[in-house]
Structure 1
Amino acid sequence: MRAEVRGKTSSVSVHNNSTILNRADNSSVYGALKGCLGSLDGGCIEKLLVHCGSALESHDVTLAQQVMWVLNNVASLVGDPNQRLTSWFLRALVSRASRVCPSPSPTSMSFNGSSIRVETRLMSVTDLARYVDVIPWHRFGFCAANIAIYKAIERYQKVHILDFSISHCMQWPTLIDALSKRPQGPPSLRITVPSFRPQVPPLLNIPTQQIGLCLTKFANSKNIPFQFNLFPYNHNNNNIIISLFDPSILNLQHDEALVINCQHWLRYVSDDEKDDFINATKRLNPRITVVVDEDFDLTDSSLASRITTSFNYFWIPFDALETFLSKDSTQRLEYEADVGQRIENIIGFEGKQRVERLESCVKVSERMRNGGYLNQPFCDEAADEVKALLAEQASGWGMKREEDALVLTWKGHNAVFVTAWVSSDDEIVVA
């Protein structure tokens, strides 16, 4: 996806704004602006962000400051999607400058968005439900994954789900309800979650154990025997991570169908541990493994590449929210702030401090195959249910099939993928 095709421009004059051009007198900045007549569109903003990132990488404080001045005249937290997105990228670049540039730093100046105080937002369960419903980022994965899981376990009377997810088990009430109506009767169900969860949005104001109690109460109301368990998970030690995928520690039983669910989780496993993580899950011989994540790639070490990829990708939620929420909507501002915190981490930090290590669907699928998994395509019935879900959303959302996956799209651009995998030659029709 290229920013130039968005069809929207930010309402900041370039060729008539002498103040901006005087401040941006560096030839590199002028080159970035050349051809952007009238207003700065997404393509011009992207070029400026890349110039700023390159300047910071080379410790060129003067150039970084000049580009920031131009970006500052575009950025607005209550403007159009490009302006709002620019505010968060500017904040991320200022944050990076504060750590990597020698004094005097560009952060000594006042930039729009750079002084925003972003506080950790703890949600109630009701708030979380509202958060999940804003755009189908999570519900798409829930729907497709639950269909795959339901079909995979239909012959089993005992089911164990090992759930790696950042969405606090919001996926499971729908599946529990479906299992309660199963023609042959519901199975007994165990859900096991790791004790560690990345400290990323959405965050809840209740402990994980309380979530388990809520799920237990709901499952009991549906007459489903249910257990909720935590297992220890040390994300800072790969050897501990792998050793904890032990059938005895997980209390796996030979007569239960094991399901491994990874919803927006692999991005928080470090690059050098992803293959070990996948191999460890494969050794558990799950009935099905489902992987859901965002379909863009942050593996390039170049900051300029990360800026380009992230700017073109994160435009999607900013543009989608524009279609139905007012510019000063509190819900919209909070959701965008959550995305903005991700942008700051991706652009502002390096090494272990950069917690997001997203890979594209193609790369994740390659890892799964190298780990011995076999892909299970989704059939028409599954696709139809996902399309029905998206029909309730804004008209820009859609779904397409790719070789290994179902993919959520916004105006034709890939957003989130879901894939299903098995660890043996047993065929499962995921429908």
Structure 2
Amino acid sequence: MSSNSELSSSVCSSGDGYDSNNQFDDFWTSNGFCHESPSDQQWYVPAELMGIDDMHFDMVSAAYHLVEQPKSAYQEEDPEKSLESEICELLGPNNIKSFHVTFPYFEIINGDQPSKLQPCYKGEQITEPMDEEEAMVGGALSTEEVMKIAAAHYIQLSTDREGESSILMHPMGLTYAGLNDDEIKKVELAGLLLAAAEKASNQQYDRSSNLLGECMALSSSTGNTVQRVVHYFADALQERIDRETGQGSSIGWKNSGVPAEDVIRGLRSNHPIQLFVHQKLPISQLLDCTSVQTILENVDLLTRVHIIDLSIKHGIQWTILMQALATRSTPVEYLKISAVGSSEKPISETGKRLMDFAESLNLVFDFKPVIIPDIKELKEDMFEIEDDEVIAVYSAFDVNVMLVKPECLENLLRVIRRLKPCVMTVADVEANHNSPNFITRFTESLFYFSAFFDCIDSYMDEDDPYRMYLEGHDFSQGIRSIVATEGEERIVRHVGIGVWRSFFGRFGMVEVELSEWSQYQANLLVKQFNHGSSCNLGRNGKSLIIKWKGTPLHFISAWRFN
């Protein structure tokens, strides 16, 4: 057991050396992926290969229904849902009338530390927490906690106000005991954003725009995390108003003539950003290491391994797999990775680095780019499968992307099923940003991105250029899509593991339990990072949930075909 943990620690941990002028090679070297002989250590991965049958499965257009009715399996969506009711559902199970008595926010304003500030999510609840350390670091409020306090203020004011009175008429209507001046300013700024969202949802666009003007004046893309979150949400909300009123010049993706899939592909194709984020954030390494460990356990003792990566990026995770295969007791005859993508140059560059690394380990390795303009054109014969190969499929943030084009998702699962993989790992966003109700999407995405911005703030400086790009380009595009657009223009449609579990079941996919060893490795990895106690691990069914200060951000799951 000790040798396993040591190897996992050395391979999965992040290093400090990073040169932006040579980000690829220096990153690989600084993280232990240097061109040296394999270690004498052995990676023990006990598991049994799961049998796959070849039963016939009648494909239906299930993906279409997933896009249009993401929650139909759990509850009906209320098209008239108000901001107040949505906040109450997210913050706790109590209704508005009893809200002020039970919501833990009042533990904060009375100067007490809350036991936990965690929203009540619809569908399956996260259970069996694996890390019970509290989320709060140094007593300071997190960005999401600020948003929740503002939401609690908003609820209190909304239940008492009459006629046209608004949150701005009661700036000190509730006590701020226990909060310092800086925290009070953050709460009031978040309150302005919530008021603007309510006005926009009620089509009171002039009033909403006035509030958004105040938000933009008090927020900044370079300020603290609350100011940054408010800045991007206010900007997206103003764009929504411009679209609804026909004023200004909308810069929506459809009007720009750029296909939706190209926009999403661009959000994920910046390799220097991806490498830097992987180095800095524990979440990225948790996703990769846990997924790779699950694949290793399912190809244990097998000698001819074929990995299909549905959207290969920097490829760092495959160096972990290579080192494990090169040092295990049963030699591997060869490893093949088929990398699916639409642009040959970046894929080939990643393949060249992986080829060099495999050579340093004396590992027989083949890298095959599978270049297709659209995933709906994917076919089984593009992978050149050999009879004696065992296949594993790796998907990281691919299935949610395809919600915008259900036919692509259907075709992908049809092809994968015919390939008969021993396992398919799926890692993606654990959130519901696909509700047809605007207020629901706005509120849930506000809490989600607040937690993510807070995570980034813990590991990157405010003026870090990579952080500025990540927030100002990738995250802001996602926020704009969720908040500003509707219908086919809304290309970001995240749904969580509960919805995917129901959806995958329609395609004959069976969820596989993640091993205790992979969970142990994940906990070990978290502890190597500063602020590791803020990165919590939990379970939802058989899937692993990665949380930041109690808020679910991503899930990792494993599947086989029935």
Under a length normalisation based on structure 1, what TM-score does the superposition of the two structures give? 0.79
* 2:451 equivalent in structure 1: 316
Question: What displacement does 1:390 show?
Answer: 0.8
Structure 2 residue 544 is matched with structure 1 residue 406: yes
Higher RCO (CA 8 Å, separation ≥ 6 residues) = 2
Question: What displacement does 1:126 show?
Answer: 6.0
Structure 2: distance between partners of 1:303 and 1:422: 35
Q: Secondary structure at the match of 1:224?
A: coil
Cα gap change, 1:149 to 1:106, in 2 (>3 Å): closer
Structure 1: 5+ residue stretches without partners: 16-24, 108-119, 198-203, 425-431
Q: Deviations over 1:23-66 (max 9, x none)?
A: xx963554796846663555x66665455345446654312212
Structure 2 residue 526 is matched with structure 1 residue 384: no
Q: Structure 2 residue aligned with 1:157, among 303, 308, 314?
A: 303
Cα gap change, 1:372 to 1:68, in 2 (>3 Å): same
Question: What displacement does 1:339 show?
Answer: 1.9
Question: What displacement does 1:367 show?
Answer: 1.6
* 2:395 equivalent in structure 1: 262
Q: Deviations over 1:202-248 (max 9, x none)?
A: xx9x622121111111112212222222224343xxxx71x5232x2
* 2:125 equivalent in structure 1: none
Question: What displacement does 1:127 show?
Answer: 5.5
Q: Secondary structure at the match of 1:138?
A: helix
Question: What displacement does 1:254 show?
Answer: 2.1
- Structure 1 or 2: larger helix share? 2
Is the contact made by 2:271 and 2:314 (CA closer than 8 Å) also made in structure 1?
no
Structure 2: distance between partners of 1:254 and 1:31: 72
Structure 2: distance between partners of 1:32 and 1:175: 58
Q: For 1:329-368, list aligned pairs within 5 A.
A: 329-337=464-472, 338-368=474-504
Question: What displacement does 1:2 show?
Answer: 4.4
* 1:245 equivalent in structure 2: 379
Q: Deviations over 1:138-167 (max 9, x none)?
A: 211111111110011113221111112363
Q: Secondary structure at the match of 1:137?
A: helix
Q: Secondary structure at the match of 1:183?
A: coil
Structure 2: distance between partners of 1:253 and 1:35: 71
Cα gap change, 1:146 to 1:103, in 2 (>3 Å): closer
Amino acid of the structure 2 residue aligned with 1:262: S
Q: Deviations over 1:398-419 (max 9, x none)?
A: 2122212111111122111100
Amino acid of the structure 2 residue aligned with 1:291: V
Q: Single out whichever of 97-106 and 297-306 deviates more from structure 2.
A: 97-106
Amino acid of the structure 1 residue aligned with 2:516: D
Structure 2: distance between partners of 1:103 and 1:74: 24
Is the contact made by 2:146 and 2:190 (CA closer than 8 Å) also made in structure 1?
no
Amino acid of the structure 2 residue aligned with 1:213: K
Q: Structure 2 residue aligned with 1:139, among 273, 276, 285?
A: 285
Cα gap change, 1:324 to 1:156, in 2 (>3 Å): closer
Structure 2: distance between partners of 1:290 and 1:66: 47
- Structure 1 or 2: larger strand share? 1
Q: For 1:122-271, list aligned pairs within 5 A.
A: 128-165=274-311, 167-196=313-342, 207-235=346-374, 241=376, 244-246=378-380, 248-270=381-403
Is the contact made by 2:221 and 2:227 (CA closer than 8 Å) also made in structure 1?
yes
Amino acid of the structure 1 residue aligned with 2:396: Q
How many residue pairs end up in the alignment?
Answer: 387
Question: What displacement does 1:389 show?
Answer: 0.9
Is the contact made by 1:297 and 1:359 (CA closer than 8 Å) also made in structure 2?
yes
Question: What displacement does 1:388 show?
Answer: 0.9
Q: Secondary structure at the match of 2:491?
A: coil
Structure 2 residue 296 is matched with structure 1 residue 296: no
* 1:76 equivalent in structure 2: 220
Cα gap change, 1:232 to 1:324, in 2 (>3 Å): closer
Structure 1: distance between partners of 2:322 and 2:250: 53
Structure 2: 5+ residue stretches without partners: 1-89, 93-104, 106-116, 118-140, 154-162, 177-183, 252-265
Is the contact made by 1:94 and 1:106 (CA closer than 8 Å) also made in structure 2?
no
Amino acid of the structure 1 residue aligned with 2:359: N
Under a length normalisation based on structure 2, what TM-score does the superposition of the two structures give? 0.62
Structure 1: distance between partners of 2:245 and 2:459: 40
Question: What displacement does 1:106 show?
Answer: 11
* 2:56 equivalent in structure 1: none
Structure 2 residue 230 is matched with structure 1 residue 96: no
Pairwise CA RMSD: 3.4
Is the contact made by 2:441 and 2:483 (CA closer than 8 Å) also made in structure 1?
yes
Structure 2 residue 556 is matched with structure 1 residue 418: yes
Percent of aligned pairs with the same amino acid: 21
Q: Secondary structure at the match of 2:316?
A: coil
Amino acid of the structure 2 residue aligned with 1:160: H
Structure 2: distance between partners of 1:344 and 1:106: 11
Amino acid of the structure 2 residue aligned with 1:329: D
Cα gap change, 1:34 to 1:69, in 2 (>3 Å): farther
Structure 2: distance between partners of 1:161 and 1:374: 20
* 1:21 equivalent in structure 2: none
Is the contact made by 1:55 and 1:64 (CA closer than 8 Å) also made in structure 2?
yes
